[in-house]
Amino acid sequence: MNRYLLTIALLCAGGGLPAAATAQEAPTGIQSPAPADASPARSQSPPAGEGATSQSVEGGSAFGRFMKDVGGDYKHFFSRETAAWYVTGGAAAGFVHIFDDEIAEELAETSPTVRTTLEGGDKYGNLTLQLPIAVGWWVTGHAMGSARAVDAGRDLLRAQISATSWSYALKFAAQRTRPNGDPRSFPSGHATATFATAMVLQDHYGWKVGVPAFAGATYTAISRIIDNKHWASDVTMGAFVGIASARTVTLHLRDQRFALGPYAVPHGWGIGLVALP
């Protein structure tokens, strides 16, 4: 793989690195009874031990709560953190834009073997796959009784909604022509979708899941350039739009506050981790 592919991969994959210092995995808590007056966690998922089915008990209200969360994502999108992601992404895309033509010409000579290897990027980054992944994660979490998976699935779906809407807002505003002559090139929707997925998984599960997810997103970004569907600066900006969208929907993971509190047990007492309101 030539130097341009390596540079693009580092720019895209590197987008997730600043989050490592601030991202926190969802707290698992202490496996012991909580105080009777303990306040519920602010995370959308039910507390560990109650099962993942509590959201469905209220019937239609679960959908209303989800839509309220989606609306809140647009409100919370305008924050100092997302502004930092956009400024960084814009600067990186602007730098890469200087070499867009040169990169396109260089990669036009990519071997058929490499092109064949990268064909999967078009399918992986498509919303027809990314949305089912999000919904499937959510449904599987319910089926398994995993509150953590339910929460991750909800956030994956919310991230796709947010990332897609912001991606298309920028596409129609920029009106940039693709290398193959098609419209709406900037930013890359495939890169936006896959990097949103990768960042959500990183925030929920850490780098054991985050690293392969970011590798898949980078694979997709490079495939879009090789396939002549996007300029290198398109996928660079797309990566940062996706990450910013994901960080918005996972605010509840980083905004969770806990305190130690006493609780009574038969013939004694203990100390548990209590979620603060």
Task: Tell whether 130 is covered by a domain.
Answer: yes
Q: What are phi and psi of 15, to 5 degrees?
A: -60, -30
- How many folded domains does the chain comprise? 1
Q: How many residues does the chain have?
A: 277
Task: Tell whether 198 is covered by a domain.
Answer: yes
Task: Tell whether 149 is covered by a domain.
Answer: yes
Task: Tell whether 220 is covered by a domain.
Answer: yes
Task: Tell whether 39 is covered by a domain.
Answer: no
Whole-number Å distance between alpha carbons of 116 and 8 = 19
Task: Tell whether 1 is covered by a domain.
Answer: no
> What sign for the dihedral angle of Cα 204, 209, 214, 217?
negative
How high is the pLDDT of residue 252? 85
Whole domain around residue 183: which residue ranges?
61-275
DSSP code per residue over 52-85: S-HHHHTTTHHHHHHHHHHHHHHHHTSSHHHHHH
**Encoded tokens for 13:** 């994959």
pLDDT in tens, the chain (277 residues): 455 555 555 555 555 544 443 433 333 333 333 333 433 333 444 433 334 444 444 445 777 888 888 888 888 888 888 889 999 999 999 999 999 999 999 988 889 999 999 999 999 999 999 999 999 999 999 999 999 999 999 999 999 999 999 999 999 999 999 999 999 999 999 999 999 999 999 999 999 999 999 999 999 999 999 999 999 999 999 999 999 999 999 988 876 444 444 545 555 554 444 444 4
Residues 75-88: tens digit of each pLDDT? 888 888 888 999 99
Task: Tell whether 32 is covered by a domain.
Answer: no
How high is the pLDDT of residue 154? 95
Phi-psi region of 206 (alpha: psi -120 to 50; beta: other; left: phi over 0): left
Q: What is the CATH number of the domain that holds 202?
A: 1.20.144
Cβ–Cβ contacts within 10 Å for residue 268, how many? 6
Cβ–Cβ contacts within 10 Å for residue 277, how many? 8
DSSP H helices in 26-146: 54-57, 61-76, 80-97, 100-107, 112-117, 120-124, 127-144
pTM of the predicted model as reported, rounded to 2 decimal places? 0.73
How high is the pLDDT of residue 15? 55
> What sign for the dihedral angle of Cα 229, 16, 162, 57?
positive
Cα atoms found within 13 Å of the Cα of residue 80, Cβ hemisphere only: 0
How high is the pLDDT of residue 74? 87
How high is the pLDDT of residue 98? 96
Which one-letter DSSP state was computed for residue 256?
-
Residues 103-129: tens digit of each pLDDT? 999 988 889 999 999 999 999 999 999
Task: Tell whether 181 is covered by a domain.
Answer: yes
